[in-house]
Structure 1
Amino acid sequence: MAILSVTYEAYRAKSSVEDYVGIWEDDIARAKLFQGDQSLQNKILKQLKEVHSAVGTTEVQNPEKLQCVFSTDVPLTYHSLPSGSIRVCFNVVDLSLSALASPLFMLGILLALISLGVGLRREFMNRLQEQRLEAELALSKKIAQISRQVAHDIRGPLSALTTLNELDHNMAPDRKELLDLAVKRIRGIADDLLSTGVKAAQDIVQAVPQAAEGHDLTTMLEPLVKEYKFAHPQVNFAWSKHLYSEKALVQLETIKIQRIVSNLLNNSLEALPAHEATIQLVLMERENHWLLQVMDNGKGIPEDILPKLAEEGATHGKQNGHGLGLFDAKKTLQSIGGDLQIRSKLDVGTQVSLIFPK
């Protein structure tokens, strides 16, 4: 850019000199041909310096003797007849200083700064992305370690519960069935925690992912509803289904479905009124998907908070909420092409719709 600016400034200086000589061409040629006036050169030089500050020396009588890096030869005519030429030399330092102040050089500096800024921003964003990925990897490793430890620690009291359930013959059949369902759910959670890391690694290694085995929503949900009915007798749980297919098969494991619905039921329980509390679960069949609606007559959710609830870390109305339940549910459903939608009205209730592709 500097060389281009100097070249441009030299061109501009030559043009200024040629314009000036063109105006006084007849006078300069007459003085050269007939008078041989040596003072003419000093006069021309003085006036040319006013035309452009980079003009150094000139030679009218013997222009070929004047040698310089940047120069221009302007032909002279007298009454349309050739009468020699005038050579004008430009000072390199002054020409460079003029180039530094030229608009072209300033534009080059501006473009260079913009290019540098874009490069620095790109480098900063790349580094920020690397740091984010490193932090996520470290967090994933930490979560995996905690998951394995939790799964390992659960197995101790789980074995005790299993033994108690097998030995206690005086327990009522319905309570014994409830305890058995709870033990199976806890065991499923522990197994899921242990297998999550292994499954993730297998998904990365496999070139072609294998389709998961279909699981029936009805078979998965009915024991869960039964468990909640027994644990919360003061709440009216209504479970219904409207299907024309024999089974409602989905590509999610039982433990994941039960975890999602269990989180939704827990949310509803915390929002319910003290009297006439109701939770409805309705499973419906649509052309391309299954629709499970979990509805309650609780206190509802404000409209400004509703769109943020499925985001990670977002929670409402819970003292110790971590904002993971709805986020995990929506992420899990979207991973198989489904979705989670929430509708709510203050003092009326909340409806959560789970969409499972067939």
Structure 2
Amino acid sequence: MSIRKRLLLSNLGMIVLPIIALLIMEILLGLLMFRVFHLDVESRIETFTQIRFIGIILILILTNGLLTYYVARTIIKPVRELSDAAGRIADGELDFQVKPERRDELGELAESFETMRRKLQEAEELQYKYEESRKELIASISHDLKTPITSIKGYVEGIVDGVADTPEKLQRYATIVYKKADEMDHLIDELFLYSKLDVQRVPFHFEKVDLYAYFEDYLEDVKLDTDVEVELRPQGKRSFFVAADREQLNRVVTNLIKNSLKHMDKEDKLLKVTLKEYGGRIEVTIQDNGEGIPKAHLPHIFEQFYRADAARGKADGSGLGLAIVKKIVEEHGGDVAADSEEGKGATISFTLEKWKEEEDGADLSH
């Protein structure tokens, strides 16, 4: 029942209930005075008038008191509870629950309060995660930059101190210094890109891309540059058109395939790319027969600076490659997932939205 109806009924009750009570009291009092007590007429009328006056006062007090209590319990109490909840939220306390107990305007307000409290709590938890992530990011950057810098300093000191006393040693030291500096430059580029993706400052220029044609060309280059056997498996047809930024798509595929090639430990290396259409999406699956990823690491491989390599005794790479892949795929409106069986290989899949014919000629940049 709405508050308006409740107040209307309460006001009507303040009129109707006393009248009904008075009528009942008049009847009962008349029967009592004129049938039970044997008094003279004048005494009966005087006593009846006095009792009726006292009864009217008691009836008015009782009915008004009950109705006031009813209104207070159904309206004022919930308002006070919401006021207390607002005070607790204002003080930063969010670990409680506002329970709507009625199906009226106050119940709807309580539901809105609960939704607000829950969203504020989620925002606070998210902010805490971001803060922890920021601290971890700073620590990881410091560590990843310090390692090559320390190495560079060591080799430069070797050159200055005359340790590299032959042209061959000098050449080797200089090559290592250049390689470490190049690693730092690559790390800074990836970090810069990831930061821009994180705050959505990378422009995307979507166009119609045929994934089958794209992977035909890409895998042909992989086949020529490596000793890996590659397979392209289109399921059902020979053209898979998606809306994609060609440059960022190339970055995604390059990161994933480089990651696969890096962990291939078999003599006969195999890389399979499968294209599949379902609904309004195209799914790309990249599967290798490498060493695989331990199950414990699978949920974390798309996190920034997370290196499943460390568990394999390796520490190469920036730890941002797969995190960048996830960001770019999400900017395309898709999802990315990983599966693996240790010792048998890993499978990374991502989805992209199909190109819609009505998008021909439209500007999809953002």
Give the TM-score of the pair, scaled to structure 2.
Answer: 0.48
Larger Rg: 1
In proportion to residue count, which structure has more helix?
2
Give the TM-score of the pair, scaled to structure 1.
Answer: 0.49
User: Relative CO higher for 1 or 2, CA cutoff 8 Å, sep ≥ 6?
Assistant: 2
In proportion to residue count, which structure has more strand?
1
